Structure 1
Amino acid sequence: MAAAMLPSSPPPVSPSLAAALTRELPAGTRLRAYHLSSPPTRCDPLFSPPPGQRGEKTYLESHFLGVTTTSSTTTTPPSPTSPPATSETFILALEVQIYTTTHLTTIFISKADSTGYAPPHPRGASSPLRGIARAFIAHLVRHRRRPHVPLVVSLFARASEQYLFPGSVRNAGKHVSDDRQLIRWWCRVLDPLVASPPTTTTPNFANGSASAVNGSITPAVTAYLLIPGIDSISPFLPPSSRGRWVAGHPLLTLNATPPAPPRCLIPHFPDDPKARFLDELDAELRGSDRGVGDSPSKKGSGAWRSVRSLDQFWDAMACRQECAAGRVVGFLWVVFGVEGEGREGMSSPDAAAARRAPRTPRREVKTKRKRKGVLAGPITPRTPRIKMSDEDAVARRPARSKYYYWPETGRGEIVLVAEKYRKATERLLTGDYGTREQAVIATGQWSAWIYGL
């Protein structure tokens, strides 16, 4: 990364991401970016299946972007024989999860945090952190588009003193936004994706493979903002962008058709306020005639007793602890429709239903009790199956299937299996970023651990 990566950096981020990040930096600013990711891995369905249907086969791909700056660790003036020692310090980190099925790609922005140690920017210029976040999201959108498959960027904005950098709240230079400021910040991050959508070069999939390139496409894009308990979204949007945002949600068009119960329309993201409410409502479906592990979709209508519609769900969310008592939570979506489909068609439930792949209905199969046979004959030993290393498992993962698209240009500089990726993000939470000296130590320990894998 010419202007944004240190000359002595480890394996750099992809050239396209490096160029995008560099464009967001003031002239002369030099930062280092760490981009980690995991390969697409089978996970639980993001949406609950409608009654009598199987849950959709879903894959999860995780991404982590950490951006660091450098500072001198010596107080003596440098000389030709003793150059100044420098150390890295985290200034920003984002964690993103990508869920894919045959009919939908969901980019969920899970966490974002800063330390307050970013270098000062020119007077009158905005902080580069917002541009870095926007460039990273646009990079993922650009490399995860699939033909005839809509893509949605989703997040919830809820203020917290610290998400990824323990102790950073003690740094007086860190600006901790309140709920309303954070919603405005994310609207400013995402709005350029609506005003000027990332031009996407998508593969031409045939029978689950990509054999050719269709060319560049610019899909119709619509942004949504919903704040439980607040009707007007205008105060949260940049003045020039208010015509590009819709007050509401796109959930009716993203998953199941409208006749499905509300629980099948709402995605279940980790550490999401509405996901916790979903779990509480699902407890209503586990009556005395069902076990805790039984799926509510196997019997009955799969509808909650207390909440009968999406409107009732959001009205009830306004009374939840996360959205009441002076707290505000914003739910944001940016929906990239299918190429050639207008904004009206993209928002139509009928169009969404037409795009959906048919699901396999459940069939009750009565199993017959089999007679136990007596084993006889010679015993033939099996050749032991050699366990593949993590690197071999990643290398053998196909880059595309009908469920996901995993191009090399959209992967991290380091690709880790899901378990190692989880350990890498957990390792970040063991550091202390209360002072610059502590942040330098924590950043150095994390980067050394990452490249020691």
Structure 2
Amino acid sequence: MSAQIPSLRSYLTDALSTLPGSSQLDLYTLITPTRKHTSLFPYTSLPTSSRAKILQQEILILVSQSPIDPNRAVFVSGIEAVLYTIPSNAASILYISKVDSTGQTVEGCGSPTGPLVKAFIDYFIRPETRPTRNVRVQLFARAQSQYIFPDSSLHSGKRVLTDVKLCWWWKDVLTTVVRRQGLDRVDDPKAEVTERKCYYLFPGLSQVEADRMLSYAGGVDKVAPPTGNRPIWTYGHPYSTTHTPLYSALNSPPELATDSNDTDIFDLIPTFSDDPKARFLVELAATSKRPEASYTGGNGDGPPLKKRQRSERLPSPSPPQTISQADPGIDEAAVSSSPESTKQMRSAVTAEEFWERMGFRQECTLNAVTGFFIVDLFDPSPLSHHPSATTTSEHLPDKAPLSHSTTTTIPVPMLARISSSLQNLDFGSTERAIEATKVLTESIKGLCGGLSGEGENEGGSFYKEHVVASIVLHNPPRLAKFHKQESGTNGGTGGQVNTAVSAPVNMLQVRKKKRPAAS
């Protein structure tokens, strides 16, 4: 009998139970059901009949902490992410859009942000819990004072990371997670063989400049050449190869050449919300030889949309986005799939030129360093020889990859309402943060209280069984040498600020040579 696959909620709960100190953590796991998504590759050259079905799930993770007193609970960490699944190609993309913290952790306890993010990513790349055989983790690191918790930057306990420190933190987090996955494979000889490829790119900077800044931010040992099971990082991107989630690794179309100069970037580079490369793709699509392709800018201030005649070949629009996951100004109704327009749509810009020009984009060069991070994990064995090949192709299209059941998820409008309520709260001080936490937790409980799910105990509820998980910690306190606090940004954050009390310094006085006595 095969072991039961842990849910994301239980996996994160186990990871947070090892935090130091004595406190109570409440973990809120909110996931929407899978639904069809058509804007991940909106300008692909493939005709509609040949396009793979793409499914989407939104994820919101919140963690509150209190000194064993529920009336003093404060949200301290949060993650927003989107999981895109392509069942026919056994591929999925995890896009981490936001990570934030309030800096209001209980004294003597560690911040849960770092362990939470590591466990979250680890869940999606481990062979036994990953949604598909091939997984790609993507994020865009851009330093900001706050993203999930409004006014949290006003609190004195929050340490906002600089742009370079943020990029170093993300590279270190991903290195730790990927290395851990590799060590598990070494310990288990029967584990699946998984290829690992890690990429990082700072637009406008060379590798020498990027590595030098990272060494100053976190220490030379963090960017040293890989040893043992440390992953090998490539300064660049994976979009110059035919390995893309849009195509099966074994059934790539003949028009997708192995030469990166002949590869269409619209088939390789996905578009996410609040993503500078997605906005650049929209501009490239608008300037192609397609006068009927209308678009709007990322801020909604582009030219007015042109009315088009209805066509059966047009892709159906995807459902409304949640958690600020609106598509970056893409007018799906303007994307034609006729062979003539597809040929015109093929971009004259290669992948290398695309990223070179990204270095001149204002979003990537406005007095701050930004970073793109991609981690690829894929099984090189043929799909037909994989033990879960049948399950992957038949099970995933109709089931939620995260929960393995649509009855453990919450409706999309409900998650949108929770996210909207969160943006109207105030975390600028401890008292206001406590009140904001009470308001949001009561809102989540009230909205989820009427839902029902599988596996509920007698007298239980969907809210207690699938949404919230309480963790009471009685662990040794955290050492006072370093004080860790994470701050918020698009794509994640984290850091370590040294607050150790300096040792007393003995000031040596200058020894004066005695002058000989006068005779």
> Residue 234 of structure 1 corresponds to which residue in structure 2?
211
- 1:108: Cα distance to partner? 0.5
> Residue 8 of structure 1 corresponds to which residue in structure 2?
none
- TM-score, normalising length from structure 2? 0.62
- 1:56: Cα distance to partner? 2.7
Between 130-139 and 88-97, report the one with greater CA deviation: 130-139
> Residue 80 of structure 2 corresponds to which residue in structure 1?
95
Distance of 1:228 and 1:218 partners within structure 2: 33
2:431 paired residue among 431, 437, 441: 437
In structure 2, do the counterparts of structure 1 residues 340 and 31 end up closer, same or farther at CA, with 3 Å as the change threshold? same
- 1:413: Cα distance to partner? 11
Q: Which runs of 5+ in 1 are unaligned?
A: 1-11, 73-83, 202-214, 342-350, 352-397
For residue 73 of structure 2, give the secondary structure of its aligned residue in structure 1: strand
Answer yes or no: is 1:165 the counterpart of 2:149: yes
Between 47-56 and 327-336, report the one with greater CA deviation: 47-56
Structure 2 letter corresponding to 1:222 = K
Residues 79 and 100 of structure 2 are in contact (CA less than 8 Å); yes or no, is this contact kept in structure 1? Answer: yes
> Residue 69 of structure 1 corresponds to which residue in structure 2?
65
> Residue 283 of structure 1 corresponds to which residue in structure 2?
286
In structure 2, do the counterparts of structure 1 residues 16 and 327 end up closer, same or farther at CA, with 3 Å as the change threshold? closer
Query: Could you tell me the percent identity over the aligned residues?
Result: 27
Distance of 1:13 and 1:319 partners within structure 2: 39
1:53 paired residue among 47, 54, 70: 47
Distance of 1:434 and 1:131 partners within structure 2: 24
Paired residues for 1:159-238 under 5 Å:
159-197=143-181, 216-217=191-192, 219-232=194-207, 233-235=210-212, 236=214
Between 50-59 and 426-435, report the one with greater CA deviation: 50-59
Structure 1 letter corresponding to 2:98 = K
For residue 31 of structure 1, give the secondary structure of its aligned residue in structure 2: strand
- 1:417: Cα distance to partner? 1.3
In structure 2, do the counterparts of structure 1 residues 424 and 133 end up closer, same or farther at CA, with 3 Å as the change threshold? same
Distance of 1:411 and 1:166 partners within structure 2: 33
For residue 112 of structure 1, give the secondary structure of its aligned residue in structure 2: strand
- 1:27: Cα distance to partner? 4.6
Structure 2 letter corresponding to 1:114 = S
Q: Which runs of 5+ in 2 are unaligned?
A: 1-6, 227-231, 248-255, 295-305, 307-332, 384-391, 448-519
In structure 2, do the counterparts of structure 1 residues 430 and 146 end up closer, same or farther at CA, with 3 Å as the change threshold? closer
For residue 138 of structure 2, give the secondary structure of its aligned residue in structure 1: strand
In structure 2, do the counterparts of structure 1 residues 107 and 145 end up closer, same or farther at CA, with 3 Å as the change threshold? same
> Residue 135 of structure 2 corresponds to which residue in structure 1?
151
- 1:14: Cα distance to partner? 3.6
Paired residues for 1:67-146 under 5 Å:
67-71=63-67, 86-101=71-86, 102-103=88-89, 104-121=91-108, 127-142=111-126, 145=130
Residues 116 and 171 of structure 1 are in contact (CA less than 8 Å); yes or no, is this contact kept in structure 2? Answer: yes
Paired residues for 1:16-31 under 5 Å:
16-23=11-18, 25-31=19-25
For residue 138 of structure 1, give the secondary structure of its aligned residue in structure 2: helix
- 1:151: Cα distance to partner? 0.5
- 1:198: Cα distance to partner? 7.4
1:245 paired residue among 233, 237, 258: 233
Distance of 1:60 and 1:274 partners within structure 2: 20
- 1:94: Cα distance to partner? 0.3
2:446 paired residue among 435, 443, 452: 452
- 1:288: Cα distance to partner? 3.7
Q: Deviations along 1:390-428, whole A, 9 cap, x unmatched?
A: xxxxxxxx9963547635757899621112112112211
Distance of 1:146 and 1:114 partners within structure 2: 27
Distance of 1:49 and 1:88 partners within structure 2: 46
Q: Deviations along 1:217-269, whole A, 9 cap, x unmatched?
A: 35221211011111224343762564321111112322453444212211000
Residues 50 and 260 of structure 1 are in contact (CA less than 8 Å); yes or no, is this contact kept in structure 2? Answer: no
Residues 197 and 221 of structure 1 are in contact (CA less than 8 Å); yes or no, is this contact kept in structure 2? Answer: no
- 1:137: Cα distance to partner? 1.7
Answer yes or no: is 1:333 the counterpart of 2:374: yes
Residues 138 and 198 of structure 1 are in contact (CA less than 8 Å); yes or no, is this contact kept in structure 2? Answer: no
Distance of 1:399 and 1:424 partners within structure 2: 33
- 1:159: Cα distance to partner? 0.8
1:268 paired residue among 250, 267, 271: 271
2:351 paired residue among 296, 310, 328: 310
Q: Deviations along 1:343-392, whole A, 9 cap, x unmatched?
A: xxxxxxxx9xxxxxxxxxxxxxxxxxxxxxxxxxxxxxxxxxxxxxxxxx
**Aligned positions, number:** 358
Answer yes or no: is 1:420 the counterpart of 2:414: yes
Distance of 2:148 and 2:406 partners within structure 1: 19
- TM-score, normalising length from structure 1? 0.70
In structure 2, do the counterparts of structure 1 residues 120 and 400 end up closer, same or farther at CA, with 3 Å as the change threshold? farther
Distance of 2:200 and 2:135 partners within structure 1: 17
Structure 1 letter corresponding to 2:234 = V
Higher RCO, 1 vs 2 (CA within 8 Å, ≥6 residues apart): 2
In structure 2, do the counterparts of structure 1 residues 175 and 165 end up closer, same or farther at CA, with 3 Å as the change threshold? same
Paired residues for 1:318-397 under 5 Å:
318-338=359-379, 340=381
- 1:216: Cα distance to partner? 4.6
Distance of 1:40 and 1:326 partners within structure 2: 39
Residues 45 and 56 of structure 1 are in contact (CA less than 8 Å); yes or no, is this contact kept in structure 2? Answer: no
Residues 15 and 115 of structure 2 are in contact (CA less than 8 Å); yes or no, is this contact kept in structure 1? Answer: no
Q: Deviations along 1:54-112, whole A, 9 cap, x unmatched?
A: 2431110111111111158xxxxxxxxxxx77321010100111001122200000111
Q: Deviations along 1:116-170, whole A, 9 cap, x unmatched?
A: 1022457xxx7542122111221233365356x3100100000111101111111
Paired residues for 1:398-413 under 5 Å:
401-403=395-397, 406=400
- 1:52: Cα distance to partner? 4.7
Residues 285 and 296 of structure 1 are in contact (CA less than 8 Å); yes or no, is this contact kept in structure 2? Answer: no
In structure 2, do the counterparts of structure 1 residues 171 and 47 end up closer, same or farther at CA, with 3 Å as the change threshold? same
For residue 16 of structure 1, give the secondary structure of its aligned residue in structure 2: helix
Between 236-245 and 13-22, report the one with greater CA deviation: 236-245
In structure 2, do the counterparts of structure 1 residues 410 and 95 end up closer, same or farther at CA, with 3 Å as the change threshold? farther
Distance of 1:182 and 1:329 partners within structure 2: 9
- 1:193: Cα distance to partner? 2.1
For residue 438 of structure 2, give the secondary structure of its aligned residue in structure 1: helix
Residues 73 and 434 of structure 2 are in contact (CA less than 8 Å); yes or no, is this contact kept in structure 1? Answer: yes
